[in-house]
A and B are shown apart, each in its own frame.
Chain A
Amino acid sequence: MFSAEGSNADGSAKDQMKEEYRKYTFRKVLFMVGCATILIILFGYALTLGSHKIDFFTVFTTIGNHIMGATYQIGTPEWTNDYLVWEDRLPREAIAIVAGVGLAIGGAAMQSVVKNPLADPYTTGISSGAVLGVTVALALGITAGSIAGNYGLVANAFLFGMIPTAVTIIVSRISKTSPATIILAGVAMSYLFNAMSTLILISSEAGKIQEAFLWQIGTLQWTTWDDFPLMFIIVAAGSIVLAFTSKQLNILTLGDESAKSLGLNADNYRLLVLVVLSLMTSAVVSFIGIIGFLGLVSPHIVRTIIGSDNKYVIPAAAIFGAMFLLAADLIARMVINPGELPVGVIMSFIGGPMFLILILKSKKGVW
């Protein structure tokens, strides 16, 4: 009789635990689904905007038809819609989503790897490297493989962006692969590369300075389909790798000793994540310039809402980042018309106060 009662009690305790766990995951899934829904709505809405209005549902049917391979006779209204949506407006939104995903995941992974809430995808110096690359191309006319024009800039930004990361990794390999060493080596490289850019810019003409300065402020304004494939492939591959290794990322935050006792080679894993996220960030930066705030703050916003389990933070940050960048870009275009504000400014204005409120409301310690 006792035993029966015991097992009963066990059973109810088990059920209760299960119930709690379900609630715990439900909240997280709900957040992701919510963000994804907003993302889709904003995506559709952004495509309707322009000098020629196309209504919300037509946008989606047009995209669907295009993917299915529909062709129209030149000059028909369907053809116009297809051209406007697919060729004119879609690249910008698609790239916003890819860049948002890349930067947010990069930020979440970097913060976990170096165990520092101040870290962002640029912590190892990628942004200053990319700026130097662009400055070298614009002011000195030197490009990797002597590719001329815009692609020279992209190639330079990408390659120079990888240099600080490579040095950081080498330094931390020679010395200790501790998070602090990675961060500090990254800081040293950032300052060094920024100083070199300044040195080059000081001795160049005003027009070049302005060009280099404008490149630094990230914008989605000039994006075309040509920018998409490389960035998409790298970000998609990187996201998949990071999403699949998010459990190891959790273990890493416990400390190197615990990671070792749980069978994870912390040093090697940290380097893998660094290489993957640097490739992702460099790919994004070299096409659209440096967009701040997103990579640093979106993982934090996600953590205040759903906690810091990387299994959920990585996908949630990806969806949230895409939504956030798309929304900010949309607002940036709508505030002043014609013309537009830098998307980073909009993100800071909306995200800053929102983040403050979330910190104030957060009950448990997330950091």
Chain B
Amino acid sequence: MGRDDFKSVYYRSVSRKVTFVIICVIVAFIAVGLQLSFGYYDVSFTESYQILWDHICGNIPTTDIGIKRDHIIWDLRLPRSIAGMAVGAGLGVCGAAMQSTLKNPLADPYTTGISAGAGLGATISIVLGICLIPGIIGQPSIIIDAFVFALIPSLVIIAFSSLKRRVTPSMMILIGIAVMYVFTAMTTLLKLTASEDSLQDVYMWSVGTLGKSNWDNVWFMIAATAFGIFAFAILAKKINVMITSDSSAISLGVDPKRCRLLVLIIVSVVTAFLVSFTGTIGFVGLVAPHMVRLIIGSDNRYLIPASAAFGAMMLICSDVIARNIGTGLPVGVITACVGGPVFLYLLIKQRKSIW
């Protein structure tokens, strides 16, 4: 095989991956249009893009009906779509990074106990009415408590890692699990003492929803996700090296322990931001990276951006379906119902081992 043959094979493999990302982005874009057009007030699919474009260009119509439509699309419906994309992309990218660095297909953004921590924080705020920053009550208090507690398990892992010379990925996972169980047990205890109403609030929080997004909190999610994608895109090569083994990573000039902790910190911060606003949305962070792996392989340089695009697409499509089937249906249920069988199909069809 000549040099040109190699080149063309390589280009084909790269173009396959790029095509996949582009398709995901296009599907997500169409889903946004669908999401914007559905609702109590009817706006057609193409009109919704038209209204968006007008708003971005600055020529907001001055007629009564025009202002109303602009308000509905831009202020009421768009934040949810953006939150869906940001959360899907953020969880997808964090899941991919976590699975690669911990070398464990069962890892997801919540593996190190972030969801249990956030759950405990939210429960403390809802049931006991305590906020870590005094004087704040209601929704902001839940967000603050969830955020702070979500970071605790990762801090424990970091503290343990500094105490021990050698820390394997499995050990990090197990430390996270131990903390997770203790936190979950505390949450259960609090729930046992809770009133019926606050119990329902806790349950609704833990299921996860995009419904609470508005222009005030969507910026945090966008910023967190953008930071995550950017950071992991830079770290992708190092993560690739780390997958081989710790000793070869060292010989290639990557400190596996430090790199692992860095990834852990980034995942914790990004996920903590997302979780504290939306609650624990499951499935996407765990399964989206696997589906991407089955389609385009496990090279982190492509896996990480592709997981972001695929995660965003998956979550926003599920949200569109969830809103159309019925009110109050958790988006996670749809993601699992649609994504589960697709995932099984991909598993059966897999040609190479991805792990």
8 Å CB interface, B104-162 against A? 104-107, 111, 156, 160
Do residues A352 and B336 form an inter-chain contact, with CB atoms below 8 A? no
A188 in contact with B344 given A196-B337, A198-B333, A349-B185 (CB within 8 Å): yes
| Contact call B336/A191, Cβ cutoff below 8 A | yes
Q: A191-B283, A198-B333, A202-B329 are in contact. Are A359 and B343 (CB under 8 A)?
A: no
B22 contacts chain A at the CB level, 8 A cutoff: no
Chain A's nearest CB lies how many Å from the CB of B312?
19
Question: With A352-B181, A353-B182 in contact, is A174–B348 under 8 Å at CB?
Answer: yes
A339-367 toward B: CB 8 Å interface, digit per residue (1/0)?
00110111111011101100110000101
Contact of B185 among A179, A189, A345, A360 (CB under 8 A): A345
A365 to B174, CA, bound (A): 13
Instruction: Tell me whether B290 and A359 are in contact (CB under 8 A).
Output: no
Cβ–Cβ < 8 Å partners of A180 in chain B: 105, 353-355
Which B residues from 154 to 206 make CB contacts under 8 A with A? 156, 160, 163-164, 166, 168, 170-171, 173-175, 177-179, 181-182, 184-185, 188-189, 192
Cβ–Cβ contact A360 & B355, under 8 A: no
| Given contacts A175-B350, A352-B185, A183 and B340 within 8 Å (CB-CB) | no
Q: Let me know if A4 is at the binding interface, CB within 8 A.
A: no
Kindly supply a per-residue 1/0 record for chain A positions 155-172, scoring 1 wherever the CB is within 8 Å of any chain B CB and 0 otherwise.
000000000000100010
Chain B: interface residue count, which band?
Answer: 35 or more
- Compute how far the CA of A174 lies from the CA of B286 in the bound complex, rounded to whole angstroms: 23
Q: Is the CB of B328 within 8 A of A202?
A: yes
The verdict on B256 contacting chain A, using a C-beta distance below 8 Å, is no
A297 close to B (CB within 8 Å): yes
Q: Does A327 sit at the interface, judged by CB under 8 A?
A: no
Query: Is the CB–CB distance between B185 and A195 below 8 Å?
Result: no
Note all chain A residues with C-beta closer than 8 A to B177. Answer: 118, 296-297
Q: Chain A residue with minimal CB distance to B172?
A: A359
Q: Which of A173-193 contact B (CB under 8 A)?
A: 174-176, 178-181, 183-185, 187-189, 191-192
Determine the chain A residues whose CB is within 8 A of the CB of B355 once the complex forms.
178-180
Contact pick for B337, options A195, A296, A360, CB 8 Å:
A195
Question: Which of A191, A198, A292 is in CB contact (< 8 Å) with B340?
Answer: A191
B104, B184, B188, B350: the one within 8 Å of A176 (CB):
B350
Query: How far is the CB of A261 from the nearest CB of chain B, in Å?
Result: 19
* Contact of A175 with B347 at beta-carbon distance under 8 Å, contacts A187-B287, A359-B175 already known: yes
Least distance between A184 CB and chain B CB atoms (Å): 6
B330 adjacent to chain A (CB < 8 Å): yes
Report Cα–Cα, A6/B350, bound state, in Å.
Answer: 59
The answer to whether the Cβ of B282 comes within 8 Å of any Cβ in the partner chain is: yes
A119 with B179: in contact, given A187-B286, A188-B343, A191-B283 (CB under 8 Å)? Answer: no
A348 lies within 8 A of B170 (CB): no
The A-B contact count (CB < 8 A) is 132
**Is B332 among interface residues, defined by CB-CB distance under 8 A?**
yes
Provide the residues of chain B in CB contact with A297, threshold 8 Å: 177-178, 181
Whether a CB of chain A sits under 8 angstroms from the CB of B341 is yes
A207 → chain B, closest Cβ, in Å? 13
**Using Cβ atoms and an 8 Å threshold, which residues of chain B touch A352?**
178-179, 181-182, 185
Q: For residue A117, which residues in chain B have a CB less than 8 angstroms away from its CB?
A: 104, 170, 173-174
CB distance from B237 to the nearest CB of A (A): 23
A342 to B185 Cα, complex, angstroms: 9
Whether the pair A188, B188 counts as a contact (CB closer than 8 A) is no
Residues of A within 8 A of B328 (CB): 202
User: Complex: how many Å from CA A356 to CA B172?
Assistant: 11
In the assembled complex, which residues on chain B have CB atoms less than 8 Å from the CB atom of A202? 328-329
B353's closest neighbor in chain A, by CB?
A178
Q: Is A67 an interface residue (CB 8 A)?
A: no
* A116 at the B interface (CB under 8 A): yes
| Min C-beta distance of B264 to chain A, whole Å | 16
**CA of A192 to CA of B345, assembled, Å:** 13
Which residues in B have some Cβ–Cβ distance to A below 8 Å?
104-107, 111, 156, 160, 163-164, 166, 168, 170-171, 173-175, 177-179, 181-182, 184-185, 188-189, 192, 282-283, 286-287, 290, 328-330, 332-334, 336-337, 339-341, 343-344, 347-350, 353-355
5 A-B pairs whose Cβ atoms sit less than 8 Å apart in the complex? A116-B105, A192-B336, A202-B328, A293-B181, A341-B189
| A residues with CB within 8 A of B | 116-119, 167, 171, 174-176, 178-181, 183-185, 187-189, 191-192, 194-196, 198-199, 202, 292-293, 296-297, 300, 341-342, 344-349, 351-353, 355-356, 359-360, 365, 367
Q: A116-B106, A118-B104 are in contact. List 9 more A-B contacts (CB 8 A).
A: A171-B344, A174-B348, A184-B105, A184-B290, A188-B347, A189-B344, A195-B334, A199-B333, A365-B168
